[in-house]
Amino acid sequence: MTGKLKNLDDLRRLRDETKRVMEDRMASETKIIVGMGTCGIAAGAREVMTAILEELDKRQLSVNVLQTGCIGMCQNEPLVDIVRPEQGRITYGRVTPQDVPRIVGQHVVNGQIVEDLVIGRTD
Amino acid sequence: MEIYRAHVLVCGGTGCTSGGSPRIKALLEEELAKNGLEKEVNLVVTGCHGLCEMGPLVIVYPEGTMYVHVQPDDVADIVEEHLLKGRIVERLLYKEPITAERVPQYRELPFYHKQKRTVLRNCGYINPEIIEEYIGRDGYSALGKALIEMTSDEVIQEVLDSGLRGRGGAGFPTGLKWGFCRKATGEPKYIVCNGDEGDPGAFMDRSILEGDPHRVLEGMAIGAYAIGASEAVIYVRAEYPLAVRRLHLAVKEAEEMGLLGDNILGTDFSLHIRIKEGAGAFVCGEETALMASIMGQRGMPWPRPPFPANSGLWGKPTNINNVETWANIPDILLRGADWFASMGTEKCKGTKVFALTGNVQNTGLLEVPMGITMREIIYDIGGGVPGGRKFKAVQIGGPSGGCLPESQLDLPVDYESLTGAGAIMGSGGLVVMDDSNCIVDVARFFLNFTRAESCGKCTPCREGIMRMLEILDRISAGEGKMEDLDLLERTARIIQDTALCGLGQTAPNPILSTLRYFRDEYEAHIKEKRCPAGVCTALLTYYIKPDLCRGCTACTKVCPVGAITGERKEVHVIDPEKCIKCGACAERCPFDAIILA
């Protein structure tokens, strides 16, 4: 926690800092984002999240695993996004725990997108 | 130097070698010799090609064909098919790996193409449990701007100019509502967020609260500043545990940062937000019943006037807005009323979030500019009706809304057009139905819902809905009369005019809209005792198709009441008098000769 914001300048400073950190994170670090809205959880996102953490642990990888809300494609939940430098944010749909080793091994480690599960990308 | 007609290159790099390429090379030598090709084909071991991930690699020239992941079993195929017969072994070919450029952008996907995501801008993008991520997406900047650079009246004027109308369903101009409450006398003033989303099939508010809770808090803080309130309540269904948890967390984080609580951002404006969990009564989405529930009373509406703006919570001026309305506020202040008013139609500005469910390909959450047609939502974004079935109707606005047929799909989506067509915008639930749904049954479903949820305070709603439901039960049981339709219509109009609150006044909408657009289906139930969709069991009979029946007698053996007769190897017949419609025969028939019609 950043501490109390005493005025508008504090807020602006924090905003600019966070913006930079968020952009930095997009560019230089790999992260995995799991859709954890009610729709995601109902479709099995929690199991997928557990599988991801186990897989990362097994491979001794330090990758940020984050959660987010519903992006609207409830039909395709559980959704998992992989953000890698230069590749932007790639979304996989209907991910099962069995798919996790492939996504982590192929995409997170080697940067090769898992074609049959991919849905789309955002910047 | 010998002249070869083909060259086979086997990778001997470290990667391919550990993947087994020496064995592949040995087998290739064997196979070539076996087929007498050793003089025609040159076998070469090369260095690393760099594509170690795909190894062991074998490349055949002059074609330059690259085979990947070649296993010992594949060698015979390569020699016989490719080198002898000249046919490329497709299954071993290198497939171009998909690159980020080849993955379609979200905005290129049909699902997002016609969407305009502003309220949902952060949903599915930021981590809702980390306030900094919201701040990094310009979160709370609108609140800062309002508190420091604008007066309360300027904030209200901005909202008024934007043309924002209440997203809970009724579409009252938000700026006007705020103005009423600001001018009202009485202290303290309260603001309330209505998160009692009760329509079957609707989940817009839940998704916003779960995915971007700070946006709602910021909108409320701006509203409180504009109105002069220092206390706020979020009323959210207890059935939304994730939303409740994230709201609590969001309020705590915002307070710790000085974005809520006392002296926000160093100013003398203070706001305390508390969260009240509702017990899931549909009527508590009605504003007066909601306030009664917040005050610890039974969730029942009270007559208006007085309006909440003058006498709401504990008799004090209160402003209630829906989750989505509050979520629209930050961007209006930050990007300006003109930006907001540039989206939508003349009377309905901005966007609307819809929850699309039912018989549609892409169920989900979407946000579209006002004025888009229902057809675009269902077909372009929703991907149409799956399974090759036909579109029949779309229920818009939940149990308070109406059923629109194919002929109304080109209507622009805005408050006035939908009301004119007999539906309502409602909070934004869209349930798509295909031709396997019976319209009488659908009307019955929604009416049964409002009957169960009626609080019972006023007679038209309590008694009227029950009587209408009885008529519908009769019709679907095949005991309806043509006069019933007139009676239904008259009762519906009376309830619309006389019920105390919105729940009762809108409860007849599903009846009136289905009578208007699907009267023939009601008539089929009454006159022909037939349910065209095959849903109302009382009107269906099991029937054996003579051309498909082989007389195997399987059905006679499973029929529990002996209703089926027929000689072996001859067509069987069901006696409708004896048949109890259990369906056992249809399940058992190996030739699908028994149908329900």
What are B287-302's pLDDT values in tens digits?
Answer: 999 999 999 999 999 9
Q: What is the pLDDT of residue B218?
A: 97
Is the model's pLDDT at A27 over the cut of 60? no
Strand (E) or helix (H) holding B242: helix B241-256
| Nearest-angstrom CA–CA distance, B194 and B478 | 42
Instruction: Please give the interface size between A and B, counted as residue pairs whose CB atoms are below 8 Å apart.
Output: 159
Is the model's pLDDT at A105 over the cut of 90? no
Average pLDDT, chain B: 91
Contacts of B193 (CB under 8 A, 6+ apart): B216, B220, B232, B233, B234, B235, B236, B320, B321, B322, B323, B326
Q: What is the pLDDT of residue A2?
A: 60
Q: CB-CB: which of A69, A79, A121 is closest to B207?
A: A69
Strand (E) or helix (H) holding A93: none
Contacts of B457 (CB under 8 A, 6+ apart): B300, B301, B500
Tell me the pLDDT band of A46, cut-offs 50, 70 and 90: very high
Tell me the pLDDT band of B539, cut-offs 50, 70 and 90: confident
The interface residues of chain B toward chain A in range 115-144, judged by CB-CB distance below 8 A, are: 115, 117, 120, 123-129, 132-133, 135-141, 144
- Long-range contacts of range A101-107, CB-CB < 8 Å, 24 or more positions apart? A101/A55, A104/A52, A104/A55, A104/A56, A104/A59, A104/A61, A105/A59, A107/A82
Residue located via tokens 């009724």: B170
Q: Which of A1, A2, A4, A123 to mutate to test the interface with B (most CBs of B within 10 A)?
A: A4
| E-only strand ranges, B284-407 | 318-322, 351-358, 364-369, 391-396, 402-405
Task: ipTM value, please give it.
Answer: 0.73
Does B210 sit within 8 Å of A37, measured CB to CB? yes
Q: What is the pLDDT of residues B319-342, one digit of tens each?
A: 999 999 999 999 999 999 999 999
Q: CB-CB: which of A12, A68, A88 is closest to B124?
A: A68
Task: Kindly report the pTM of this predicted structure.
Answer: 0.80
Q: What is the pLDDT of residues B374-402, one digit of tens each?
A: 999 999 999 899 988 999 999 998 888 99
Residue located via tokens 């801008």: B121
Q: What is the pLDDT of residues B153-176, one digit of tens each?
A: 999 999 999 999 999 888 899 999
Residue B558 is which amino acid?
V
Mean pLDDT score, B184-195: 95
Please report residues of B whose CB lies closer than 8 A to that of A14. 132, 135
Please report residues of A whose CB lies closer than 8 A to that of B111. 72-73
Using the Cβ of A116 and the Cβ atoms of chain B, whether some distance falls under 8 Å is answered with: no
Q: State phi, psi for B59 to the nearest 5 degrees.
A: -120, 135
Nearest CA distance, A57 vs chain B (angstrom) = 22
Q: Which of B265, B353, B378, B381 to mutate to test the interface with A (most CBs of A within 10 A)?
A: B265
Does A1 sit within 8 Å of B253, measured CB to CB? yes
Q: What is the pLDDT of residues B48-93, one digit of tens each?
A: 666 666 778 888 888 778 888 899 999 999 998 888 888 888 888 8
**pLDDT more than 90, % of chain A:** 32
Please report residues of B whose CB lies closer than 8 A to that of A40. none
Q: What is the pLDDT of residue A24?
A: 60
Using the Cβ of B26 and the Cβ atoms of chain A, whether some distance falls under 8 Å is answered with: no
CB A63 within 8 A of CB A32: yes
